[in-house]
Amino acid sequence: MNKFDACFSNRPVLFDGGLGSALIAAGLPRGTPPESWTIEQPEIVQGVHRAYYQAGADVVQTNTFGANQSRQAETRCPYPLETLNREAVRLVREVCPPGKLICGEMGPSGLWFPPRGKADPSHIEDLAAEQATLLAGAGVDLLCLETFSDLREARAALCGVKRVTALPVVVSMTFRATQQGYFTVMGDPLRESLGALLDEGAYMAGINCTLSAQDMVELTHKARGVVMGHLLIQPNAGNPTPVAQGDGHALCYPEGPEAFARHMKEIIATGVDAVGGCCGTTPAHVALLAQLVRAARG
């Protein structure tokens, strides 16, 4: 049994919490791409990774959400893609305990499909393939494509990744609650979206971001009832609100560790295969979640 199989045989698996929000709390200036701190503030980035492992996370994700060619051009991040991805993996590897996993995080391209934009599947495939090649070459154990809001892009990115690596791939999408049910902002429905990704080779489908843990309880019940396959749930720590701080504003996430854990206990009880946190969650959130995970494993 390899390292990946050993971890996923002991479910639910615990992923880490928010990274971008943690870096913002540590002083990442507004408008600065978080990936740049892999080079400019590696001690801070690595400190967040270390804290999540110490909190009990089985899987920690690299600081590479926007480390693809399209997003790099959009944010004007000045460092080479190869450097950003390689160094991000190194920072996690140096603090990764034995038996734990390193996950290469991959976000959307920032491009839009018609009618909103002119993106096409082949270009999205190439962007994802390029980043997946870099992350796999740097030694990650699995890849996670997350926070996708367009099923067309998620499918194309998954295809690009599978073209260049045999590593397990998680694909996570973000949904909103509507009167007609749960849909992405592009109108993709829950069942068809997650089902399609699993049918096309994702090791695990996921739901992350947008919703709080409280709001994610109902969504998880619906997903567990209609999706056949492994499922990852990563809510936000509530809906952020701006609060005055110095000369500007900071975002405050209202769902503290105790409230987050209370709702996550319900989510774990549905039998999901993996849990974690997204925006606003901290090592304190993950530490309480780790207690719930240990209890669920028996």
Instruction: Name 22's Cβ contacts closer than 8 Å, sequence gap at least 6.
Output: 48, 282
The DSSP secondary structure of the chain, one letter per residue, reads --HHHHHHTSSSEEB---SHHHHHHTTPPTT--GGGHHHH-HHHHHHHHHHHHHHT-SEEE-S-TT-SHHHHHHHT--S-HHHHHHHHHHHHHTTPPTT-EEEEEE---S---TTT----HHHHHHHHHHHHHHHHHHT-SEEEEEEE--HHHHHHHHHHHHHH--S-EEEEE--EEETTEEE-TT--BHHHHHHHHHHTT-SEEEEEEEEEHHHHHHHHHHHHHH--S-EEEEEESS--EEEEETTEEEEE----HHHHHHHHHHHHHTT-SEE---TT--HHHHHHHHHHHHHHH-
- Total number of residues shown for the chain: 298
pLDDT given for residue 246 in this prediction? 58
C-alpha distances out from residue 115 to 36, 82, 150, 285, Å: 32, 32, 12, 39
Strands 231-236 and 204-212: parallel
pLDDT given for residue 100 in this prediction? 96
Q: What is the C-alpha to C-alpha distance for residues 131 and 108, in angstroms, rounded to an integer?
A: 11
Where are the chain's structural domains?
Answer: 3-297
Q: Which two tokens stand for residue 117?
A: 């934009």
Give me the phi and psi of 176, to 5 degrees please.
-120, 150
Q: pLDDT 10s digit of each residue in the chain, 298 long?
A: 667 788 888 899 999 999 999 999 999 998 899 999 999 999 999 999 999 999 999 999 999 999 999 999 999 999 999 999 999 999 999 999 999 999 999 999 999 998 889 999 999 999 999 999 999 999 999 999 999 999 999 999 999 999 999 999 999 999 999 999 999 999 999 999 999 999 999 999 999 999 999 999 999 999 998 888 999 999 999 888 776 565 556 678 999 999 999 999 999 999 999 999 999 999 999 999 999 999 999 8
State the amino acid at position 198 in one-letter form: L
Quick one: fold of 3-297?
TIM Barrel (3.20.20)
Q: Which two tokens stand for residue 70?
A: 């399209």
Q: What is the C-alpha to C-alpha distance for residues 195 and 226, in angstroms, rounded to an integer?
A: 8
pLDDT given for residue 245 in this prediction? 61
Q: Which two tokens stand for residue 250?
A: 């900071």
pLDDT given for residue 247 in this prediction? 57
pLDDT given for residue 1 in this prediction? 64
C-alpha distances out from residue 279 to 21, 204, 210, 235, Å: 6, 20, 8, 8
> Among all chains, which residue has been given the structure tokens 């019940």?
221
Nearest alpha-carbon partner for 36 in 78, 96, 3: 78
Q: Please state the pTM of the whole predicted model.
A: 0.96
State the amino acid at position 167 in one-letter form: L
Residue 126, sorted as left (phi over 0), alpha (psi -120 to 50) or beta, turns out to be alpha
Q: What angle do CA 174, 175, 180 make, to 5 degrees?
A: 165
Q: What is the C-alpha to C-alpha distance for residues 173 and 205, in angstroms, rounded to an integer?
A: 8
pLDDT given for residue 240 in this prediction? 80
Residue 76 CA to its chain's centroid (Å): 22
State the amino acid at position 143 in one-letter form: L
